[in-house]
Structures are given as structure tokens and as C-alpha cells.
Structure 1
Amino acid sequence: MNDTQIGGNVVPGRVGQYINGRRHRRMIKAVTFDLWDTVIHDDSDEPKRAAQGLRSKKEERRYLLWEALNETSPITQEEVWLACNTADAAFNHVWHTQFVTWRVRERLQIVIDGLGRGLSESALDLVVQQYEEMEINVAPDIIDGAADAIVDLSQDFPLAVVSDAIVSPGRCLRQWLELNHILQYFQGFAFSDEVGFSKPHRNMFALAAEQMGVAIEEMVHVGDRDHNDIKGAQALGMKAILFTGTRDKDKAITTADAICAHHRELPGIVRSLVGQ
């Protein structure tokens, strides 16, 4: 049986990473990070929006699309909302079964086509921009301790971001990292809108490995979702750390090599896994 570390302590009995029936012992040379609910506190921007009298992100995005369509030709909000619901369901199906995240423009075009409507290129460009930059204009918070952990680990390891881009694209996520003064600590970036696939697809991790000049098996990934971040990384021969600081739904089922409840524990956990 494998031993899973929780906050630096060893807990026996968890299923670990094996390759061809042998425990994998490739040296860890690099660290990759998920962003949402690992570095970025997902939806922590919603209370900020409410305090400013703004709609929720979901409501605002749909309103913006309705507004653009209604200016071209009258249409009810209910029609737009229903079309958005249908497109969201299709997006989630493709995301979870084909490991692809459609770009915002693609998703909007599906809604527009489904409604039998059209928008000028300039009008569509504006709505796309408003969708994509919403989490920059009112930004979610960085998770407590994440910046310090990233700075600490960057002293000994090259770091990369491996993150799905559901609405905010890679260009905006880079802006968020810069706003929080941690962009410079990363040597690689794999965003699903740029790669063409989402986690746990191999291409996401392979791009990060290539950018950092290491083998996939020489990386450890830190993320909050057991299926995509933990099992996805382990299937490629990597080690994986489940972060539970803001989302712990997968804690009871994870096969992670370690569990981290707070970022202050992360540098020590990563270093303890080196050479295992």
C-alpha cells in the first residue's frame, strides 16, 4: 500500500502511483500548479460584485449577450437564457468527455446560431472581451499563503501553470498572475484555450514539461480536483498533491501522494516527495 502525506504527516492505506507494477521513483525536478481553487479562490469575486451593486458573473454575461442581440433585433431575455443553458450543457459534456474547453467566441456563436440570430463582428468582439475580462475587472482573491509558497518553491524548482480556462482565457489568467505579483515565478504556461485540450489530457502536462525542460514523470502537480489534477497527473507517471484549502470535496476519495490543507505546508510536502 502507498502512504499518503497529510500536512506533512504520513497516513497509510491510500492507493499510490505504480507504473508496470512498480512504485515510481523518478526524481521530482519541477512543480506544476492548477489555478482555480488552488491558487485563485474561485468565486471570491462574487461578494465584491454584490458590494458594488453588480450582477453575478453568470447573470451579467447573459445580460451582455442579450443586450447586444436585442440592440440588433428585439429578443426576450428568456430566449437568451434558455439558449445559454443549452450551450452550457453542451460545453460541460465536451469538457468532461473530450477534454476540450470551447473558447468564449465559440460558445457565444453556438448560442447566437441556435437562436437564429446574428451579430456584427465588432459587436461580437465586444461581448467576447466583456466575458473574458470580467474576472480581471473585478478579480477573485489569491488563496492565503499561495504567493509565499510559490516564491519558496521557485528557489529550488522550475514552476508552471497547468490550468483549464473556462471563461477567462490564458491571456487574462496571466494578467491575474501579474496583478498578484507571481507571474515572474513561472517558466511555463499550459492553458486549455491555448493548448486545445483540457486536463487531464496529456498535451496539457506535456507542454509544461517541454517549457521547463523536464520529463513529464519528473513533475509533481498541485491541484484541487481528484479526477483531473490527481488521477490525470498520476496516469502520466507524475506525483500529485491534492490541495484542500478552499475545496475539499475530493479528500475522501483521492489517490494523491499527499494532501495539503494550507499553502504554508506545500513547500515542505513537495520537498518530502523528492526522490520517493
Structure 2
Amino acid sequence: MKIKAISFDFWNTLFYDYKMEYNRHNARKKYFRKILDKHGHVPEMDLEPVFKYCWDYFDKVWKTEHKTRNARELLDLKCIQLGITLPEEDLVDIAKFFEEIMLEHPPNLFEGVKEILPKLAEKYKLGITSDTAYSSGRVLKILMERNDILKYFTAFTFSDEVGCSKPDGNAFRSTLVQFGVKPEEAAHVGDNEYTDVGGAKKTGMSAVWFKGAYERESYETIADYKANDWTDLARIFEV
């Protein structure tokens, strides 16, 4: 593979999530309820339907407009659904909690990442092209630093920072500009056929479909390569 740079998705490629998202979800609901109670807002309805409505809205916008909504935008939508208003200082506080709770309930690195990333960094420029939701690119970079892998990356494109999400070509082009390479000189690695593989291919990059943490024994893909794990990535990129 004659390339100079590799872009990676964050979720289900570098990091995987099992029960931690469940813990984060419950923590967000609990904290939101605490602030509501402080102001005498005790909704008769359970908060779960409100959280689900907001996530369904996020998912729809992500899939149809190729944009993501951040923690504050999702919080504002929750307040609209509940028909309530909160002081700005509380909104800032809740949004910050929503965004940073991932640091208390973090995802896990895939096996092999810490061993193979240094080898890849010796041969290629490395970057992140990732969509975000409650947790911003800022928080994801903190997680990378805590896992001692941030130092291997020189390019970062997060949907909350660039205003678009994969498969929008502008997301990939943002990373390419930071790399200083042409599309044909870069590859993108990710688990989502539509956003990662499709988006990278349409932008003119090579694409590697990564199996990730899901059980998918056989999978049809337009990617140039398939990787079941990080050992496969080491073989594909010849390190």
C-alpha cells in the first residue's frame, strides 16, 4: 500500500464500549434530575423517553444531514421537550457534566493498539477522523492522552469542531489538509461501511474496514482491505 498517512475512526476502531455507555447514560439522567429537582421541576413523566427522543433526533440528523449535535444542543432539546427553562449557569454545568462523564466511565482500548501504534507512527503520519456526540473532540483527546497514545497523532478532525460528520468529504479533507497529503496518499480505517468506508472512498482515499467489537463473521464491503483486529492492521500496513 503506497500511502503516507493513515486516518482512524475513534469509536470501535481505537476504543470500544460495552457497559460504560449504559453507566454514562444513567449518570446523565441522575444529574439532570438533580438539577431539575433543585428548581422545583419534577416531571411527572420518566426522563428516559425524553433522552430517547433526543437521541433519535441526533441519529436522524447524523444520517440525513451529516452533522452531529453536541451536549449543549441535546440538553436544550430536552428542556424544550419538558417545557421548562433553566438558568444559564445550570445549563452550562449540566452540559459540561454530560460531556465529561465519559472521563469517569471511559471506553477501552482495543488489544494491540499500544503495541502497534508506535510502529505505524514511525512509518506514517497518523490522524483521527471521528464523529462526536455528548463527548466532544476535546474530551476524546483527553482520553487518548490518559491512554498514552495522543502523542502518535498529528491530525485531528472531530465533527463537533468542523461542523460536519462522516461521510461528508469535508471531514476527511480536513484531516488530509493537516496531513499535507493528497487523498490517494492516505488511508482511513473504520468500522462503519457507510460513514467510514464509503466516505473515505468517495474522497479518493484507500479504506480499511475494521471489524471492531461486533460479531460479524462475514461482511460485504467496498473497502480495499478488511481487518479483524490490530494484528491485521499491522500486516496490512506492513509494520
TM-score interval (norm. to shorter): over 0.9
Measured in 2, the distance between the counterparts of 1:77 and 1:38 equals 40
Q: Note closer, same or farther for the CA distance 1:219–1:248 as it changes in structure 2 (3 Å cut).
A: farther
| Match in the other structure for 2:208 | 241
| Match in the other structure for 1:45 | 20
Out of 82, 94, 110, which is 1:127 matched to?
94
Q: Note closer, same or farther for the CA distance 1:170–1:250 as it changes in structure 2 (3 Å cut).
A: farther
TM-score normalised by length of structure 2: 0.93
- Equivalences for 1:90-105 in 2 at 5 Å? 90-105=57-72
Structure 1, unpaired ranges of 5+:
1-24, 47-54
Contact 2:169 2:202 in 1 (8 A): no
| Match in the other structure for 1:107 | 74
Aligned residue identity for 1:65: F
Aligned residue identity for 1:90: Y
Alignment of 1:255 onto 2:222: yes
Alignment of 1:211 onto 2:178: yes
Measured in 2, the distance between the counterparts of 1:69 and 1:214 equals 50
Measured in 2, the distance between the counterparts of 1:82 and 1:265 equals 41
SS at match of 2:115: helix
Q: Note closer, same or farther for the CA distance 1:199–1:101 as it changes in structure 2 (3 Å cut).
A: same
Measured in 2, the distance between the counterparts of 1:71 and 1:81 equals 19
SS at match of 1:165: coil
Measured in 1, the distance between the counterparts of 2:44 and 2:129 equals 36
| Match in the other structure for 1:62 | 29
Displacement of 1:245: 3.7
* Alignment root-mean-square deviation, CA: 1.9
Displacement of 1:66: 2.1
Measured in 2, the distance between the counterparts of 1:147 and 1:265 equals 14
Alignment of 1:148 onto 2:115: yes
Aligned residue identity for 1:176: L
Cα deviation 1:199-224 (Å, max 9, x = unaligned): 11111111111111112232100111
Flag the structure with larger Rg.
Answer: 1
Identity, % of aligned positions: 32
| Match in the other structure for 2:42 | 75
Aligned residues, how many? 239
Contact 2:191 2:210 in 1 (8 A): yes
Measured in 2, the distance between the counterparts of 1:241 and 1:248 equals 17
Contact 2:188 2:200 in 1 (8 A): yes
| Match in the other structure for 2:148 | 181
Contact 1:104 1:132 in 2 (8 A): yes
Measured in 1, the distance between the counterparts of 2:212 and 2:61 equals 28
Measured in 1, the distance between the counterparts of 2:217 and 2:155 equals 27
SS at match of 1:241: strand
Measured in 1, the distance between the counterparts of 2:178 and 2:135 equals 22
Contact 2:24 2:105 in 1 (8 A): no
| Match in the other structure for 2:190 | 223
Q: Note closer, same or farther for the CA distance 1:245–1:83 as it changes in structure 2 (3 Å cut).
A: closer
Cα deviation 1:121-166 (Å, max 9, x = unaligned): 2211111111111111221111100122211111011010011112
Displacement of 1:111: 1.1
SS at match of 1:155: helix
